Amino acid sequence: MKYYIIAGEASGDLHGANLMKELFKQDPAADIRFWGGDLMAATGGTLVKHYRDLAFMGFAEVVQNLGTILRNIKFCKADITAFNPDVIIFIDYPGFNMRIAKWAKPLGYKTHYYISPQIWAWKENRIKAIKRDVDKMYIILPFEKEFYENKHDYKVEFVGHPLIDAIHNRPATDVEAFKKDNRLDERPVIALLPGSRKQEISKMLGIMLSVVDDFPDHQFVIAGAPSQDYEFYRQFITSENVKFISNKTYDLLSIAHAALVTSGTATLETALFKVPEVVCYKGGWISYQIAKRIITLKYISLVNLIMDKEVVKELIQDECNKKNIRIELQKILTPENRQNLLKQYDLLEKKLGGPGASLKTARLIINNLT
């Protein structure tokens, strides 16, 4: 069968790659055309557009790049028409994907959504469009099933979280070789995960690096996103106690003692690697003012949302400053706080369901098409 997959961000590239692996196993004749990134490209199929050309962050940034977004939508529709897939699989990225679904469903294309848009956070009225335009929804967060089925009478499939497989099935890191190759010494590592987009890296990395000199007994390592070059990061690095490692985030987390993490999927990845973390977030002033008026969630990190309590500290906007980051980082470096946090991480993993999310989703997609 022919599959057209659209992922517009780094996390979508990861989950899309694992889904594609299972689709190829379950359907050896699969023909897959996709929007995604390097991980999906390494799996096979045909890459149409890389997510680095698609990802715009925040309300103001989207408006500034509206022309590019509209051109990409037009091109996507034409490309789908030419390929004529048996199913279109949307992976998160709702601003773009919901537009394509609205166009595709009336034309008779099968529309499957893997990893729900976070309509429980904002834009809940999107449920009307999802009911109208999406044939099947595969969810990865346990609280989403109640949200969709009990609150909105829309049947969904909870498949578990694909990060569990992505982390547990990866090759073990050769710690000594990794340290040697990246010129790391024996001090404990504090990982810095400032995001994957230029806008968020520019906002977050400088403030994260502001505390480096306060922790001379630790070494700080920036997790470079695969979509960005070192030259972009170099402008923010002013201390010799900072290393940069590109496209090796999981290896870095596997040896990290603590982490400073921008909100998003990375907060959950860090927790599943059992690394104590402080969540840091600063948005553009306009985007933040809009967001805080329409988003009613108690938390911004997936860890706290899933657990429905503050497990990891969140420093948001004005609270995200050098003083507070230093204080909270010091806290998670103490043995007692670390142990308490790691116990909560174990409970978090249990709530996410068992392994096999990508396999379950691939089978469901194929079964729903045959």
pLDDT in tens, 54-90: 755 555 555 566 677 788 999 999 999 999 999 999 9
Which residues, including other chains, have CB under 8 Å from residue 250's CB and lie 6 or more apart? Answer: 167, 170, 173, 269, 273
* pLDDT at site 286: 57
Handedness of CA 3, 22, 173, 304 (dihedral sign): positive
pLDDT in tens, 248-303: 999 999 999 999 999 778 999 999 999 999 999 987 655 555 555 445 678 889 99
pLDDT in tens, 204-224: 999 999 999 999 999 999 999
Q: Which of 34-38, 62-66, 106-110, 346-350 has the lowest mean pLDDT?
A: 62-66
pLDDT in tens, 111-146: 999 999 989 877 899 999 999 999 999 999 998 999
Do 73 and 96 form a contact (C-beta atoms < 8 A)?
Answer: yes
The mean pLDDT value for 318-330 works out to 97
The mean pLDDT value for 243-249 works out to 95
CATH 3.40.50.2000 in the chain is located at 2-161+354-369, 175-351
Is the pTM value of this prediction over 0.85? Answer: no
- Band (pLDDT 50/70/90 cuts) for residue 227 is confident
Does the pLDDT at position 33 exceed 60? yes
Say how far apart CA 102 and CA 129 lie, in whole Å. Answer: 7
Q: Which of 176-190, 289-303, 334-348 has the lowest mean pLDDT?
A: 289-303
Please, what is the average pLDDT of the chain?
91
Q: Which fold, 2-161+354-369?
A: Rossmann fold (3.40.50)
Say how far apart CA 148 and CA 141 lie, in whole Å. Answer: 11
The half-sphere exposure of 62 on its side-chain side, counting CA atoms within 13 A, is: 9
Does the pLDDT at position 327 exceed 60? yes
Handedness of CA 161, 156, 368, 87 (dihedral sign): negative
- Assigned CATH for 175-351: 3.40.50.2000
Q: Are strands 110-114 and 46-50 parallel, antiparallel or unpaired?
A: unpaired
Say how far apart CA 229 and CA 23 lie, in whole Å. Answer: 32
Do 55 and 197 form a contact (C-beta atoms < 8 A)?
Answer: yes
Say how far apart CA 229 and CA 244 lie, in whole Å. Answer: 11
